[in-house]
Structure 1
Amino acid sequence: MLRIHFTSQDLQSIRVARQPHALWELVCGVCRLDTRQGALEFGHWRRSVREGLAKDPRARRALLPLQTLIPPVGYIPDFLTPSVTGGGLAVGLEEVRSTSRTRLTRELARLAESRPLPSWVSSLNRPGVKALGTLTRALELSCKTLLEPYWPRIQTAIGNDVELRSRALLDGGTSALLDALRPHARWNAPVLEVNYPVDRELYLEGRGLLLVPSYFCWRRPTALADPTLGPVLVYPVAKQPLEVARASKDGLERLLGRTRTVVLAHLANHGARTTSEVASAANIALPSASYQLGVLRDGGLIASHREGQFVRHSATPLGLRLLDR
């Protein structure tokens, strides 16, 4: 478990990244590529990426050093995911390119404690060597291969999550925002208890916390290993599968009925919604909305969760597949 300790000043300095963080998505994506995790969520993406790599030797070569530095489990060097909140990929790559030799030496030595490293890794922190520039170009090319074709879907998933966090903050303040991180974390003031593979204590000490929603983060949140760096918590968002079963609109309406199809489509398009919001969007009475939502929930097409005094509903991966989203 990761226990993040807040002060009153930290509670005033919580931020949520509003756009996907390309380098965090890439690092998490490399981890997902080398495993079988999330067959529904990532299966089509893995197959597509591997097919593309088979046809593109340059992309294959670019990915190899990343797979060396980014193991599927365990320590990953922090310099690969600089904490930039603006400027996108270009700014992040420049931060990686300008990593100090002292930091590279420290982080690569820690990585070497957990796995054997090829000789080229030691060249990354040698003066006058352009290996770090080569690595940066590999990061850029791998972003194009692993992420770029799927970026609109990733942005949609992140946008839906940011809207959910914003609603929690507006309805209940920072405590509600942190509590809404369930089931990945539990807010037990003044400590956020995070599902984590090792036991760690992180004291924010007035630095605040940047929450980074991530599509390719899987099962549980992750964070920077170095506690002296700007505190970041990367957490998985609700997944919209990158492969979906196709169904015609008419066929889906015959299967579900027109009203339930409208309700499901509204949730898929707009993210988590309350029963009242669904009733208004579908132009049906509140009791009817409750009934239709119950039927969809029993069929596994939506999920419902309580946030304070509200219950919000969202489409599940199965519901999205039916809608070809």
Structure 2
Amino acid sequence: MLRIHFTEADLLNTRVATAPDASWELVLSLRHLRRRVVPPRYAAWRRDVVARMPHTGGPPEDYREVAVAPYWEDIRASVDGDRALRIRALLDGGVNGLLRSYAPTMRWLPPTLHVRSAVDRDYALRGRGLVLQPSHFCHGVGHLPEDPDAPPVLVHPAAQPQSEPPGDKALARLMGATRAGILIAAGTACTAGELARRVGVSAPTVSHHLSALRDAGLLRTVPHGASVLHVRTRTGSALVNSSCAFR
């Protein structure tokens, strides 16, 4: 069990990572490759990678190109989905709500975050805050740097997608699967690229649907630095929230 101790300054400086960490995805994927039994979500990935690897008894020198790079969009979609969940928890409950949202992998008992881990360790943040890094290939436990002076980054399993609720299917029948998916994903502000990855469509396709949803008053677009974010309007949220009525 990892016990991460927060001060007030740490709570103010805690944030969620904005993208996958390529080095951690590489290391953690390799661990799954070397296991005889892997969690079901990685079974197809492992089977494909093993089939593409030369039969030399170990991973090839170009392992990243074989096992990680072809799956990068899946990795990013997994991390984006987790980030959207955490942002919603932060908006609804502040930092306490954010830290509580990681159950059952983590348990927030202020001022200490208890994290499932293969090691037993106390870790003081010392005012530096914590970067919460979701990972596609992380499973079951969290990871912190062994060096207490290294930047405090907690690598943890990205949240697993839930089965599609009936309301989502009803909304898809009403307005089409792609537009329904975009509208649902835009519950938290997203770039067009993030929406495209979550829904599984190309950038031009998502741009076309964003325009239609915006013209219908279901989405609004707001500038955010050098980026543009898209988020549901109250009308759009009302449509999503009431979609179960269309079953």
Percentage of matched positions with identical amino acids: 37
**1:78-113 alpha-carbon deviations (Å, 9 max, x no partner):** xxxxxxxxxxxxxxxxxxxxxxxxxxxxxxxxxxxx
Match in the other structure for 1:208 = 129
Aligned length: 195
Deviation at 1:142, TM superposition (A): 2.1
Deviation at 1:238, TM superposition (A): 2.7
Deviation at 1:228, TM superposition (A): 2.4
Match in the other structure for 1:37 = 38
**What is the identity, as a one-letter code, of the residue corresponding to 1:289?**
C
Q: Which secondary structure does the structure 2 equivalent of 1:46 belong to?
A: helix
Question: Which whole-Å CA distance do the structure 2 matches of 1:44 and 1:13 have between them?
Answer: 38
**1:202-224 alpha-carbon deviations (Å, 9 max, x no partner):** 01111211111000001121222
Q: Cα–Cα, structure 1 residues 192 and 51, in superposed 2: closer, same or farther, change >3 Å? A: same
Matching of residue 289 in structure 1 with residue 244 in structure 2: yes
Match in the other structure for 1:169 = 90
**1:178-222 alpha-carbon deviations (Å, 9 max, x no partner):** 111111111111111111223210011112111110000011212
Q: Cα–Cα, structure 1 residues 284 and 154, in superposed 2: closer, same or farther, change >3 Å? A: closer
Is the 8 Å Cα contact of residues 259 and 282 (structure 1) preserved in structure 2?
A: no
Question: Which whole-Å CA distance do the structure 1 matches of 2:98 and 2:241 have between them?
Answer: 30
TM-score normalised to structure 1 length? 0.52
**What is the identity, as a one-letter code, of the residue corresponding to 1:174?**
V
RCO (CA 8 Å, sep 6+): is it higher in 1 or 2? 1
Is the 8 Å Cα contact of residues 262 and 282 (structure 1) preserved in structure 2?
A: no
Q: Cα–Cα, structure 1 residues 224 and 269, in superposed 2: closer, same or farther, change >3 Å? A: farther
Gaps of 5+ in 1: 63-140, 241-255, 293-325
Matching of residue 147 in structure 1 with residue 58 in structure 2: no
**What is the identity, as a one-letter code, of the residue corresponding to 2:79?**
I
TM-score normalised to structure 2 length? 0.67
**What is the identity, as a one-letter code, of the residue corresponding to 1:22?**
A
User: 1:180-199, aligned counterparts within 5 Å?
Assistant: 180-199=101-120
Question: Which whole-Å CA distance do the structure 1 matches of 2:76 and 2:150 have between them?
Answer: 26
**What is the identity, as a one-letter code, of the residue corresponding to 1:148?**
A
Gaps of 5+ in 2: 162-166, 189-231
Q: Which secondary structure does the structure 2 equivalent of 1:18 belong to?
A: coil
Question: Which whole-Å CA distance do the structure 1 matches of 2:186 and 2:134 have between them?
Answer: 16
Q: Cα–Cα, structure 1 residues 284 and 197, in superposed 2: closer, same or farther, change >3 Å? A: closer
Is the 8 Å Cα contact of residues 215 and 239 (structure 1) preserved in structure 2?
A: no
Match in the other structure for 1:54 = 54
Matching of residue 10 in structure 1 with residue 7 in structure 2: no
**1:253-304 alpha-carbon deviations (Å, 9 max, x no partner):** xxx99627659x6569855969x99x95794773x62795xxxxxxxxxxxx
Q: Which has the larger radius of gyration?
A: 1
Q: Cα–Cα, structure 1 residues 262 and 34, in superposed 2: closer, same or farther, change >3 Å? A: farther
Q: Which has the higher helix share?
A: 1
